Structures are given as structure tokens and as C-alpha cells.
């Protein structure tokens, strides 16, 4: 369906990760599916990639189409089948449909699609609204933002983008806010799901030879045995590094300084990836008081700051407060979650991931297993979901850090490993946290593992 509204093909990995993790190569996708038949999520992304960089345009004026009929322009898929050269045609081509649906067809056709909850979205699922349709491909490492392709009136299909995110059931991208319905194509083949590419990063804040905070990584593509990022940042080491938390978000190194600020407010300081972490682009005083520094968890979600307030809330419930980059960190949103406050809040780890609030409960579970309890962002953090994971409770849970990357749970084990190396152990969301994965990384164990922060993130 032609419209001046641009259409995004959302992808949950960075542009480089899409190529390496989902496509494997930029050569045209080989047809594993038949027209209108079963298709894997990987092939959907490959087919979408096949139109990128071809110079295809929305109306054909700058680059003549391969076929024109009744004033409409068509382009070929990798097997030379023609699809309409607009947003709906692009997604129809990626799914290898027998015809081009309208954007309303993606939203309303219950023969080919079924409606799903946003929390169930996987690569190759559809996000549709009247006049606009997206193809979702997963989350970035921060669990909130996603990259995307687009084919619309701006001819943005030539490039890949990052930074879109959900706000409830709205997608927010560069100030554009729209309601989308999550839909799943009934012919998606679930036998070959797409995995998330997540590197392991070590932000070393003390004991560095340079006297500066350093950043190093082990790459997913090498099974965590190969080195990736290695940078000496602009930040000096010293006692002040303990005055807040260090995080990688939106490709930047962020220091969320919660104590020892001259302003009496929580402050944000960054080092940009584009500069090799040598210079800053953000030096912000937020509206949060340093008096709240110990009352919860401070987390960067893309460029926004989230405060998961666990104690001393006026509501008697755990609260989520944000300070948005768009406001200069002077204002944000406020939510009262379904979780009550009390001693149990210290029985595990709290994190925003994939737009939802997760409680990774490590102790005092009734099942004897580590449990995940969610408050869903789509419901303003009032809706519930719970899972019993494959991991047992016990003293070993303190031998590392527990993190979510997208909807997968990771245990970064830094002590008492049998290999003498730092290990990664996973429980995947697609299996209800029963499925396993384990890796021995390039990093050795020892005293130095305590000299900084371990974080999973796409680089």
C-alpha cells in the first residue's frame, strides 16, 4: 500500500550483527522456501537484506523499476519474482508471500497471521498498523532498542538504522510514535530460530596499567574465545569510579554518578564509541537526587536513564522512573509496578530488558530453582509473567553476575569455574528458560575479575 508514511523493517541487532548473525553474507538469499510456504526466520531476514543497497526507491523516479503496471512499480526478489515497490511489498517479499498484501492486510488477515503479545515477538514477526508495516528481528543488547531497515518515501532502504524502541504498544523512532499490532505469519518455521549475537565486555575501572578506565571484549562470533574491543578510555581510575555504575548503552560508555556530585543530583558522563572512548558528548545533571542513590537500581536504556526504585517508595510498590535524553534528563515517565517493596527485593537482580521489568530471583524461591518474574512494559509494569529456570539456587549463584540480553538469561561466572576461565551459561527465553548454552571465554579468572564490571552487549 503506497503511503507517504515510511515503513521500517525492525531488526534487533546492530547493522554489523545483522550481517554476521542473521545473514552470514550479503549475497542474495538462496530460496529455501517456496512461494507462500514454510519459511525460517533466518531466510526472512536474508530476503529483506536482498533489497538493501540496490537503489530501489518508493516511486521509481530516481532508479527505474524492473517492471511497471497501472502506475505501480515492482522489483524482483532473489528468485526474480516481482513484488510491489512499497512498504507492504517489501515485507511481503521478505516473507515470500504469494502476493503483496496491504498494510491493513498484515493487520487484519487472520488466515495468514495471528495476533501475539509484544512480549512474544521474535525475528520475522510483523508489526502492523493502518498505512504502515514493520518486520521485527529482535532486540539490541540493552534489551529495549532495536535496529531496523526501512523502505518508504525517504528511500531509507539504502541504510540501516538503530535506536527505535517500544513505549507501551507504541514504537518510538526519531520522535515518530505509532501504535502497532504484533502479528505472526502462520507459515514461519520455528525449527531454526535466529540467535542473538552478544559480546562479553569488561569495563575495568581499577588496576589498569594505563591509569585510565579500560574496555575489552570477547566476541560472540568466536564463541567468546577471540578478542574484540580494546580501548583506553578518557576516564581516570581512582576512588571516584566507585561513586556510581558503569554501563555500555547505545554504543557509548556511560558513568551514572549517583554520589559525590557537586550538584547534589545524579549525573551522567559518557565516552563516545565514535571517538574510541576518548571524548565525551554527554555531561548531564539529571532531575534525580543523590539522596536516592542507594534506594534502587540505576540503568541506562538506550540514551535514557531508568531508576528502578526498590525502597522508600511512597506507593509501597516498586516504582520505575525515567529521565529522558530528549528532555536533557530533566523529566521523564513514572510507573508504579505490580511488585511490592520489602526484604524480598534483595533476593535477586532487577533489570529492564526487552521493554519489561525483570526480577531474577536467586534466593528464597519455592522451587529450588532460579526464577524470573516480570512486570510487562506494555501494561505500565502491572502485568505479570513468571518462569522457573534451569538454574538451581545455592551459594554458586554468587560466583558471578546475572544479566538478561533481550529475553535470554545469562550467568557470567567469574569465580570457581572448572576451566580457570570466565564462563557464560545461558537459559533461553524461547525454551521457557529450560534450554541451555555454555561457553568458556578468553578471560582468565583471578583477582582482576573484581576490578570492574562485566556486561553483555553488541559491539
Q: According to the model, what pLDDT value does residue 301 have?
A: 86
Phi-psi map region of 406: left, alpha, beta (phi>0 left; psi -120 to 50 alpha):
left
Distance CA 364, CA 352 (A): 22
Q: Which domain, by its residues, includes 49? A: 8-189
Could you give the count of Cα atoms lying within 13 Å of 390 in the half-sphere of its Cβ? 18
Q: According to the model, what pLDDT value does residue 190 have?
A: 72
% of the chain at pLDDT higher than 70: 79
377 in any annotated domain: yes
Number of domains in the chain: 3
144 in any annotated domain: yes
Residue 378's φ and ψ, nearest 5 degrees, are -65, -20
Please name which of 455, 453, 452 lies closest in space to residue 207, comparing C-alpha atoms.
Answer: 452
Over residues 376-398, the pLDDT tens digits come to: 887 889 988 999 999 999 999 99
Same domain for 25 and 50?
Answer: yes
Same domain for 129 and 257?
Answer: no
Q: According to the model, what pLDDT value does residue 132 have?
A: 80
Distance CA 417, CA 259 (A): 34
Same domain for 213 and 251?
Answer: no
Same domain for 321 and 353?
Answer: no
Same domain for 254 and 227?
Answer: no
Per the CB < 8 A criterion, the answer to whether 128 and 90 are in contact is no
Over residues 266-276, the pLDDT tens digits come to: 999 999 887 88
69 pLDDT band, cuts 50/70/90, is low
Over residues 133-192, the pLDDT tens digits come to: 888 876 665 556 676 666 765 544 434 456 677 776 677 765 667 788 888 999 998 766
238 in any annotated domain: no
Same domain for 70 and 124?
Answer: yes
Q: According to the model, what pLDDT value does residue 89 have?
A: 87
Mean pLDDT, residues 359-363 taken together: 98
Amino acid at each position: 500500500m503506497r503511503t507517504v508514511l515510511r515503513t521500517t523493517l525492525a531488526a534487533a541487532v546492530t547493522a554489523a550483527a545483522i550481517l554476521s548473525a542473521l545473514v552470514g553474507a550479503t549475497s542474495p538469499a538462496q530460496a529455501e522456501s517456496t512461494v507462500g510456504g514454510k519459511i525460517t526466520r533466518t531466510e526472512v531476514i536474508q530476503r529483506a537484506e536482498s533489497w538493501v543497497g540496490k537503489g530501489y526507491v518508493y516511486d521509481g523516479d530516481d532508479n527505474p523499476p524492473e517492471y511497471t503496471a497501472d502506475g505501480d512499480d515492482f522489483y524482483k526478489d532473489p528468485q526474480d519474482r516481482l513484488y510491489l515497490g512499497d512498504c507492504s511489498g517489501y515485507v511481503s517479499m521478505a516473507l515470500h508471500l504469494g502476493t503483496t498484501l496491504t498494510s491493513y492486510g498484515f493487520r487484519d488477515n487472520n488466515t495468514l497471521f495471528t495476533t501475539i503479545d509484544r512480549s512474544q515477538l521474535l525475528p520475522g514477526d510483523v508489526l502492523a498498523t493502518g498505512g504502515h508495516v514493520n518486520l521485527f528481528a529482535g532486540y539490541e543488547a540493552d534489551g529495549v532498542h532495536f535496529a531496523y531497515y526501512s523502505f518508504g518515501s525517504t528511500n531509507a532502504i539504502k541504510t540501516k538504522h538503530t535506536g527505535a524502541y517500544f513505549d507501551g504498544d507504541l514504537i518510538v523512532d526519531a520522535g515518530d510514535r505509532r501504535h502497532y499490532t504484533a502479528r505472526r505469519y502462520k507459515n514461519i518455521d520455528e525449527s531454526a530460530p535466529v540467535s542473538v549475537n552478544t559480546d562479553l565486555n569488561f569495563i575495568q575501572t581499577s588496576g589498569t596499567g594505563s591509569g585510565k578506565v579500560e574496555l575489552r571484549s570477547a566476541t560472540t562470533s568466536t564463541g567468546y574465545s577471540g578478542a574484540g574491543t580494546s580501548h583506553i578510555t578518557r576516564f581516570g581510575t581512582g576512588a571516584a569510579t566507585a561513586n556510581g555504575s558503569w554501563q555500555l548503552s547505545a554504543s557509548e560508555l556511560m558513568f551514572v554518578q549517583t554520589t559525590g556530585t557537586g550538584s547534589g543530583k545524579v549525573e551522567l558522563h559518557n565516552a563516545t564509541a565514535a571517538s574510541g572512548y576518548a571524548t565525551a558528548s554527554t555531561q548531564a545533571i539529571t532531575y534525580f537526587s543523590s539522596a536516592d542513590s542507594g534506594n534502587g537500581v540505576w540503568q541506562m536504556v538506550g540514551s535514557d536513564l531508568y531508576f528502578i526504585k526498590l525502597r522508600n517508595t511512597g506507593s509501597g510498590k516498586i516504582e520505575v522512573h525515567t529521565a529522558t535524553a530528549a528532555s536533557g534528563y530533566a523529566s521523564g515517565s513514572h510507573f508504579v509496578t505490580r511488585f511490592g517493596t520489602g526484604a524480598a527485593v534483595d533476593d535477586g537482580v532487577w533489570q529492564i530488558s526487552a521493554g519489561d521489568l525483570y526480577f531474577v530471583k536467586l534466593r528464597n524461591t519455592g522451587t529450588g530453582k532460579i526464577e524470573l518474574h516480570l512486570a510487562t512494559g506494555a501494561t505500565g509494569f502491572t502485568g505479570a509473567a513468571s518462569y522457573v529456570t534451569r538454574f538451581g539456587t545455592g551459594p554458586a549463584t554468587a560466583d558471578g553476575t546475572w544479566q538478561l540480553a533481550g529475553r535470554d538469561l545469562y550467568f557470567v561466572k567469574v569465580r570457581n569455574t572448572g576451566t580457570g576461565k570466565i564462563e557464560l551459561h545461558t537459559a533461553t527465553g524461547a525454551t521457557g528458560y529450560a534450554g541451555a548454552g555454555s561457553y568458556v571465554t578468553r578471560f582468565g579468572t583471578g583477582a582482576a575479575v573484581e576490578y570492574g564490571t562485566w556486561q553483555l552487549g553488541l559491539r
